[in-house]
Amino acid sequence: MKHVSLLMMSAAMMLASCATEKVQKENPVLIGKSTIQVSDKRMTPEALWAFGRIGEVAVSPDEKQIAYTVAYYSIPENKSNREVFVMNADGSQNRQITQTPYSENQVVWIKGGSKLAFLSSESGSSQVWEMNPDGTGRKQLTAYDGDIEGFAFSPDEKKLLFISSINVIPSTADLYPDLAKASGLLRSDLMYKHWDEWVTTAPHPFIADFDGNSIANVMDILQGEPYESPMKPFGGIEQLAWNTTSDKVAYTCKKKTGRAYALSTNSDIYIYDLKTKQHTNITEGNMGYDTNPTYSPDGKSIAWLSMERDGYESDWNRLFVMNLETGEKRFVSKSLDSNVDTYSWSKDAQTIYFTSVWHGKTQIYAVTLADEQLKVITEGVHDYASVALCGDKLIAKRHSMSMADEIYAVALNGEATQLTFENKHLYDQLEMGRVEERWMKTTDGKEMLTWVIYPPNFDPNKKYPAILYCTGGPQNAVSQFFSYRWNMQMMAANDYIIVAPNRRGLPGFGLEWNEQISGDYGGQCMKDLFTAIDVMAKEPFIDEERLGCVGASFGGYTVYWMAGHHEKRFKAFISHCGIFNMEVQYIDTEEIFFANWDMAGPYWDKNNPKVKNTYKHSPHLFVEKWDTPILCIHGEKDLRVPVTQGTMAFNAARVQNIPAELLIFPDENHWVLKPQNGILWQRTFFSWLDKWLKN
């Protein structure tokens, strides 16, 4: 399950593939760009993990330079490292300015553009450092007693806002000092676990004085209260913002703990006044997520992202603007029947540029605040993942199913110029399969977009096995994403045709389409998936006797459900971190608000017809109909869809003597982030498909 909305994730975090591990503090190893050679022009797991992964992007104050980071992975060392690059705003004179084993993160320009600030663990903990734009003059700026997880200098650079975690739940050693080595965690309320951790800490925003060389007078804005700001598991510095006069900080916070936290998505935007020490809730009365505040350049307004309904994490993600003088709040993106993901103000504060998905592609839009008129700036088969202003152009990251993130300059007429070529040395060795956009008629007469990805050197006179890709979320767009695990070109390179439908319950096709899935897991969305594979199976180049079905999270649930309903369509299944028993999932996940919304409530509410409809589709109720080989994959640290969901499904298959394999990762969560685990995942994935679809 997704269980988190995109607004809670930075653009670099939208997929698991974009996550970067922290380099170990002991015995660090220098990791740089791979020089791997690719044979027969086919994507391999090793080639995929050789890709440099572009992270944050920062435009200099004079808009003449761009700094950005790139993460590199080492398969032998089984770890990653992140380096800093600087180039001119036109893409020229691109140079790597760091080469250390300490992972420089969150690079920003400071001191009028004469310095770059960044996070590094060089001193043993994560602290703020600075260096010259050529990489020289490296100097530590903070020596805080704890890891700094994100930071932002005030506009006048006399203050530093930073994120650090504090202990919020007493340990058993605090209760019983004579048992200092006891490992037990004693809890009396919900939210004792989150994503992949047993909760003991909460991230807090701190403010400190800064004299240009070090910090002093550190103050916790939340005064030790047990709330999260930013919000776990993916919130970062984008959930906090300075005002233009450096005397106020806007921050995102869900001021709830325990059971109240587990049942609600009601976060708010608060403004903290450094002079009066007062906190003002500017979104009080809005019951859904409010996140990611940003002040306008003229200081007169503040924007943020807002959802309306409490408990619905995939609600319409709307762009709001508040006039700070009058208090008037406006929903400025209401003419767009889709979500706003990332956004940026124009210099004159009259326009906001943002990204949004529509019909399986994420484009850049502009909304003029005077009349709330919307304009689509870009077009094409790709996804834009970020947007920032640079002179008369926009600087944005862009990717597609055939290309990982690169940085582009986008003119306001939509003309895009590629500035970085981080992975050109790999693309030059690879041949990508054709990506085709197809629209299909669903069982209820709707039009559905399905992506079809063909093998390199596709021969229409041959017959190929095909794979139905079932996305997770459940409301996670099948757009032009580039994944380091569910990589469409990797699957196609193994001579499979990939069928990836935007079934019911996905954003980018209007609110009605997106919301239909809630409470109807085994209904229309499954009919849509069957439509996609049935339409494609009629093509002369697809062998309908060699079809597979794969997916993760809600896609993993889909696979388990399909195993009991597919009526001999498929010859092999692969489920990663999928829900097998919905009743168990309801009481074993951590964010109960998700289960209450999507499952309509607890399974014991037997008088609720929506609840009955939900749980009657639990895959475990149909195992007697299972008859097809299945591979179950799960991470033991997955606390969102706990590992027992995968082991139960595997056991159910083997008890019935159905061919099955179980791949467990004791050190992975809902995703697979370590290089060697990632390659093991790929090899197991294709070994299983080849065994049942090619032999």
Residue-level pLDDT at 558: 98
Average pLDDT score over residue span 175-192: 95
DSSP per-residue letters across 347-415? TTSSEEEEEEEETTEEEEEEEETTTTEEEE---SSSEE---EEETTEEEEEEEETTEEEEEEEEETTS-
Residue-level pLDDT at 266: 98
Residue-level pLDDT at 157: 98
Query: Band of the pLDDT at 16, cuts 50, 70, 90?
Result: very low
Cα 688 from Cα 175, distance rounded (Å): 50
Give the tens place of pLDDT for each residue, 61-95: 999 999 999 999 999 999 999 999 999 999 999 99
pLDDT over 70 (residue 12): no
pLDDT over 60 (residue 6): no
Strand partners, 634: 664
Catalytic member of 553, 598, 617, 634: 553
Residue-level pLDDT at 17: 36
Give the tens place of pLDDT for each residue, 193-250: 999 999 999 999 999 999 999 999 999 999 999 999 999 999 999 999 999 999 999 9
Query: Band of the pLDDT at 30, cuts 50, 70, 90?
Result: confident
Catalytic status, residue 553: yes
pLDDT over 80 (residue 9): no
DSSP per-residue letters across 48-107? HTTS-EEEEEEE-TTSSEEEEEEEEEETTTTEEEEEEEEEETTS-S-EE----SS--EEE
Residue-level pLDDT at 10: 36
pLDDT over 90 (residue 2): no
Strand partners, 470: 551
Percent residues over pLDDT 70 in the chain: 96
pLDDT over 50 (residue 23): no
Domain spans of the chain, in order of start: 431-693
Query: Band of the pLDDT at 27, cuts 50, 70, 90?
Result: low
Residue-level pLDDT at 3: 40
Average pLDDT score over residue span 319-343: 97
Q: Which pairing describes strands 572-576 and 542-552: parallel, antiparallel, or unpaired?
A: parallel
Domain 431-693 has CATH 3.30.9.10: no
Residue-level pLDDT at 19: 37
Cα 448 from Cα 528, distance rounded (Å): 8
Residue-level pLDDT at 29: 82
Average pLDDT score over residue span 115-120: 98
DSSP per-residue letters across 562-617? HHTTSTT--SEEEEES--S-HHHHHHHSS-HHHHHHHS-S-TT-TT-HHHHHHHTT
pLDDT over 70 (residue 8): no
pLDDT over 70 (residue 1): no
Give the tens place of pLDDT for each residue, 601-633: 999 998 999 999 999 999 999 999 999 999 999
Looking at residue 38, the DSSP 8-state letter turns out to be P
Cα 565 from Cα 620, distance rounded (Å): 12
Average pLDDT score over residue span 379-394: 97
Alpha helices (H) in 252-324, listed in sequence order: 258-263
Catalytic member of 315, 383, 520, 638: 638
Query: Band of the pLDDT at 380, cuts 50, 70, 90?
Result: very high
pLDDT over 50 (residue 339): yes
Percent residues over pLDDT 90 in the chain: 94
| Structure-token pair, residue 117 | 């600030």
Give the tens place of pLDDT for each residue, 555-610: 999 999 999 999 999 999 999 999 999 999 999 999 999 999 999 999 999 899 99
Say what the pTM is: 0.95
Q: Which residues contact 415 (CB under 8 A, 6 or more apart)?
A: none
pLDDT over 80 (residue 170): yes
Burial of 22 (0-12, 13-18, 19+ CB in 10 A): middle
Average pLDDT score over residue span 111-129: 97
pLDDT over 50 (residue 115): yes
Cα 190 from Cα 193, distance rounded (Å): 8
